[in-house]
């Protein structure tokens, strides 16, 4: 176990080292990303070996009679009538309702996707080190459990682009489950939820995007909120921003306390072109953020792992 923890710490250091790519000159970024990825793959292989060795060492013969006894009371059983919606399902429905009231359609994300929709259609160049930055899982067939709901952007743009020809706008939100190869702890999960927003029209601008996002968060947290932005980087938006809101009063927020909630920006012209939309005639903006953290903040939850735990005591609270 000591060796396993050491390897995990080494992996965290390599991930932190990758963040330094912003400081590398453009001509050297691909080589830098390749070297970091090789180091990362080697560490992940060692971690897998260490985890298997630890699991093998813990395997013991199990006496099944220890779990049964004559006249033992029947354990508590829950029928379908006792069930309820999972808190994430309830809150995702609420999020969608708010956006629907603002005129957005809702399209559900996918459970499996491909390289093209995950990266190529979103302006990730071949060999771009950011492809490695998403810590994606892959199946033996080469499919990808989506690492972000942005995999749906290309499909949404193509599906709804006929609306533009009719003088209408594209306005869609995409909730969905995403997966990343994360070290699980109180604030990180390998399985979580995101919500993507896509808007395209002839004259949309960043001011409209910030207005929509502010309206959403004020409706969701049921109070007036100040907002802030700071520069960010995403291959599929330009310019890109990180969007923050004033910490809600329900969480003990005070004036001047801000929380980063999502990434956003104007849709990159290359993304519009790949969907058959002329970027000289139409403009768009998009955003994407985690749903689990949104719900955690609303209810003051401290551990994201509760959502996937199946703990009945936790679910009963909702």
Report the pLDDT averaged over residues 38-51: 78
Task: Kindly state whether residues 161 and 257 are assigned to the same domain.
Answer: yes
Task: Kindly state whether residues 299 and 261 are assigned to the same domain.
Answer: yes
Give the list of residues 6+ apart from residue 316 with CB closer than 8 angstroms, or none.
none
> CA 185, 186, 191: angle at the middle one, nearest 5?
65
Q: What is the mean pLDDT of the chain?
A: 80
% of the chain residues with pLDDT over 90: 32
Task: Kindly state whether residues 35 and 163 are assigned to the same domain.
Answer: no
| C-alpha distances out from residue 154 to 56, 119, 171, 198, Å | 45, 10, 13, 10
Task: Kindly state whether residues 162 and 225 are assigned to the same domain.
Answer: yes
Confidence label for 288 from pLDDT (cuts 50, 70 and 90)? very high
For 166-200, the pLDDT digits (tens) are: 999 999 999 988 877 777 776 667 777 889 999 99
Task: Kindly state whether residues 190 and 307 are assigned to the same domain.
Answer: yes
For 20-31, the pLDDT digits (tens) are: 766 777 777 778
Is the separation of the CB atoms in 268 and 238 below 8 Å? Answer: yes
Task: Kindly state whether residues 18 and 161 are assigned to the same domain.
Answer: no
* Residue 80, domain member (yes or no): no
Is the separation of the CB atoms in 210 and 229 below 8 Å? Answer: yes
Q: For residue 266, give the nearest of 215, 231, 214 by alpha carbon.
A: 231
* Residue 82, domain member (yes or no): no
* Residue 75, domain member (yes or no): no
Is residue 63's pLDDT more than 60?
no
- Output the domain CATH number for residue 284: 3.30.930.10
Is residue 213's pLDDT more than 90?
yes
Parent domain of 111:
87-316
For 244-259, the pLDDT digits (tens) are: 998 877 677 777 788 8
Burial class (CB in 10 A: 0-12, 13-18, 19+), 72: exposed
pLDDT score of 272? 95
Task: Kindly state whether residues 136 and 47 are assigned to the same domain.
Answer: no
* Residue 308, domain member (yes or no): yes
* Residue 47, domain member (yes or no): yes
Task: Kindly state whether residues 175 and 308 are assigned to the same domain.
Answer: yes
Task: Kindly state whether residues 135 and 204 are assigned to the same domain.
Answer: yes
Report the pLDDT averaged over residues 271-299: 90
Task: Kindly state whether residues 231 and 117 are assigned to the same domain.
Answer: yes
Is residue 228's pLDDT more than 60?
yes
* Residue 66, domain member (yes or no): no
pLDDT score of 62? 46
Tell me how many domains the chain contains: 2
% of the chain residues with pLDDT over 70: 81
Task: Kindly state whether residues 282 and 172 are assigned to the same domain.
Answer: yes
Single pTM value for the model: 0.70
Task: Kindly state whether residues 44 and 161 are assigned to the same domain.
Answer: no
For 77-134, the pLDDT digits (tens) are: 555 566 677 778 888 899 999 999 999 999 988 888 888 887 888 888 777 666 665 5
Residue 260 tokens, joined: 């980063």
pLDDT score of 64? 43
């Amino acid at each position: 176990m000591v060796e396993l923890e050491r390897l995990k710490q080494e992996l965290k250091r390599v991930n932190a080292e990758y963040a330094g790519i912003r400081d590398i000159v453009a001509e050297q970024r691909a080589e830098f990303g390749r070297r970091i990825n090789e180091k990362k793959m080697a560490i992940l292989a060692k971690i897998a070996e260490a985890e298997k060795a630890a699991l093998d060492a813990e395997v013991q013969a199990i006496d099944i009679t220890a779990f049964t006894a004559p006249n033992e009371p029947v354990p508590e059983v829950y029928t379908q009538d006792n069930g309820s919606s999972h808190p994430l399902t309830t809150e995702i429905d609420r999020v969608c309702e708010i956006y629907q009231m603002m005129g957005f359609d809702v399209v559900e994300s996918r459970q499996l996707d491909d390289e093209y929709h995950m990266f190529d259609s979103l302006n990730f160049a071949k060999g771009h080190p950011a492809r490695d930055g998403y810590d994606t899982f892959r199946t033996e067939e080469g499919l990808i459990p989506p690492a972000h709901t942005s995999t749906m952007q290309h499909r949404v743009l193509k599906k709804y682009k006929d609306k533009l020809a009719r003088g209408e706008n594209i306005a869609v939100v995409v909730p969905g489950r995403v997966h990343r190869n994360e070290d699980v702890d109180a604030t990180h999960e390998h399985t979580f939820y995101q919500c993507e927003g896509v808007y395209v029209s002839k004259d949309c601008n960043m001011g409209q995007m910030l207005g929509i996002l502010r309206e959403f968060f004020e409706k969701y947290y049921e109070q007036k909120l100040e907002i802030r932005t700071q520069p960010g980087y995403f291959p599929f938006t330009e310019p890109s921003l990180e969007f923050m809101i004033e910490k809600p009063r329900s969480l003990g927020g005070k004036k001047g306390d801000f929380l980063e909630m999502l990434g956003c920006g104007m849709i990159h012209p290359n993304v519009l072109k790949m969907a058959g939309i002329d970027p000289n005639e139409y403009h768009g903006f998009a955003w994407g953020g985690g749903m689990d953290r949104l719900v955690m903040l609303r209810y003051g939850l401290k551990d994201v792992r509760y959502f996937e735990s199946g703990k009945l005591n936790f679910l009963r609270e909702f």
